[in-house]
Structure 1
């Protein structure tokens, strides 16, 4: 089934299903990417509007989404969105969120028991929320058969060993307690660092900076290549100017270095770049330029452009 919330394509031997939890205007464009000047947005309006930027309101347009990969006979979820009914007082847009994520998974023919692997590219509220569901008196894993791959550095920083992100935000403790700790208690969490191979076609790689353990997932199948970059890139302006961080990057210097490294490889190897939050087509190829990169063909839900 294909509609605006459930879309499919195939890369090599891997089926890729896009599950959109929400899409729309998020916040001020230069609040999201403070280092990107107004001219960058205006000069690239033809590529940014309306899927990524609303010029009349100067608001960035974003999506909350999960990428489902069917690879080697297994079903892999890449990030799990916001989750319903969470206490997120520091993030009003996510506080007591109610969405139809599970219904959209069902539209795609995916039941909770079908999921073999859950990848959390990093531990932020909008990437781990559907790790768990409310069982009445406790949070329990939403996918009872799945192995949950969690970056070890994020688990250490945002968990009790790091006093829940050094106690800087109460939300960090709440996120860990309702979306990560239950997975540990169920014995389904696998912590990893550096490089972690999921199967012959999918490999996780650390890309720190946005968070201490933020990561990307590489897909290589036949002649097809893709890199699911999580929150290394929130807006296409960060591809045009990769030194520009989002307001959410915890270590700006490391985030910019990771972004440049990942985008350079994507351009060199013609990897499809698949960010966590792009609206519109949601994925694209990029080209190397003197001062950064250019936006190549948008690609999803159909054949990639030549």
Structure 2
């Protein structure tokens, strides 16, 4: 899937799609509750109330840059908290190349945050070592985010993610730590949306009088637009996460801004009483 915003093109490269089995991330999103939100069907949920989600990367092409936003789970990784995320072997890089984006053509990698499903393809296993997957890219990590996880030791799975998917990039000299209001180029900047993680950032694209928002994990699923207080079990600060959702959705609601989530596809935010709903972009 791809979308055009002025002179910028956004292409989604899917690593994994899931239906259901998402209660571990959004426990409030029961089948009964989801069926009360018929606007989620069929794009974001099944008629039975099971959530549809994906893990994907977004390639953003400007007239001068080729940027990958978030890098999924990766192959060959160990110590993940979800068993099916361990020791994966998928043709993700081949899919990127077939779509016209070989790894050596990428000049920038931007991680909205440093969770397991957003940094995995930062590195690949080569000769028994983790090396940057994108050899010609600068990797942009939020300074607040990086400093939090660099010193984090409480959960072994999160330590493993940092050690195999973040630290090797820094050791290779390809990382740059950025503030949460950084401009990448004329068309693209990040905006602070903390809560899901301490330094979570979303990406704002502006070109030719058009806008797109790559929201990352401000919301894992559009059902959180209707229920701003539905938080992920891995949110660092649930209250701040809910506040970021309200602020961000209020800013872009009822506008033509194209919105793409870290785990759901494109649409537009609309006000719905005291909350919001998401209208899928018809392909």
TM-score by length of 1: 0.87
- Listed as ranges, the gaps of 5+ residues in structure 1 are 1-6
Q: Is the 2:225–2:275 Cα contact (8 Å) retained in structure 1?
A: yes
CA distance in structure 1 between the aligned counterparts of 2:192 and 2:107, rounded to whole angstroms: 21
* Structure 1 pair 151–26 and aligned structure 2 pair: CA distance change class (3 A): farther
**1:235 and 2:228 equivalent?**
no
Q: Is the 2:115–2:161 Cα contact (8 Å) retained in structure 1?
A: yes
- Listed as ranges, the gaps of 5+ residues in structure 2 are none
Counterpart for residue 146 of structure 1: 137
CA deviation profile, 1:241-297 (whole Å, cap 9, x unmatched) = 22221222111011111111111111154321110111xxx111011232101223x
Counterpart for residue 105 of structure 1: 96
CA distance in structure 2 between the aligned counterparts of 1:93 and 1:105, rounded to whole angstroms: 22
CA distance in structure 2 between the aligned counterparts of 1:40 and 1:291, rounded to whole angstroms: 17
Task: Report the number of matched residues.
Answer: 283
Question: Aligned match of 2:26 in 33, 56, 62?
Answer: 33
**1:69 and 2:60 equivalent?**
yes
CA distance in structure 2 between the aligned counterparts of 1:84 and 1:32, rounded to whole angstroms: 22
* Structure 1 pair 105–256 and aligned structure 2 pair: CA distance change class (3 A): same
TM-score by length of 2: 0.94
3-state SS in 2 of match to 1:198: strand
Counterpart for residue 204 of structure 2: 218
Question: Aligned match of 1:125 in 94, 109, 116?
Answer: 116
* Structure 1 pair 141–252 and aligned structure 2 pair: CA distance change class (3 A): same
Counterpart for residue 299 of structure 1: 281
Query: Moved runs in structure 1, 4+ residues, more than 3 A?
Result: 35-40
CA distance in structure 2 between the aligned counterparts of 1:180 and 1:65, rounded to whole angstroms: 18
- The CA RMSD over aligned residues, in Å, is 1.8
* Structure 1 pair 68–10 and aligned structure 2 pair: CA distance change class (3 A): same
3-state SS in 1 of match to 2:185: coil
CA distance in structure 2 between the aligned counterparts of 1:236 and 1:274, rounded to whole angstroms: 10
* Structure 1 pair 222–40 and aligned structure 2 pair: CA distance change class (3 A): farther
Q: Trace 1:129-208 onto structure 2 (pairs within 5 A).
A: 129-159=120-150, 162=151, 165=152, 167-208=153-194
* Structure 1 pair 38–109 and aligned structure 2 pair: CA distance change class (3 A): closer
Q: Is the 1:90–1:169 Cα contact (8 Å) retained in structure 2?
A: no
1:72 Cα deviation after fit? 2.7
3-state SS in 2 of match to 1:77: strand
CA distance in structure 2 between the aligned counterparts of 1:24 and 1:275, rounded to whole angstroms: 15
3-state SS in 2 of match to 1:24: strand
Q: Is the 1:35–1:244 Cα contact (8 Å) retained in structure 2?
A: yes
CA distance in structure 2 between the aligned counterparts of 1:19 and 1:271, rounded to whole angstroms: 21
1:193 Cα deviation after fit? 2.0
3-state SS in 1 of match to 2:235: coil
Counterpart for residue 4 of structure 1: none
CA distance in structure 2 between the aligned counterparts of 1:184 and 1:299, rounded to whole angstroms: 38
CA distance in structure 1 between the aligned counterparts of 2:161 and 2:56, rounded to whole angstroms: 18
* Structure 1 pair 28–9 and aligned structure 2 pair: CA distance change class (3 A): closer
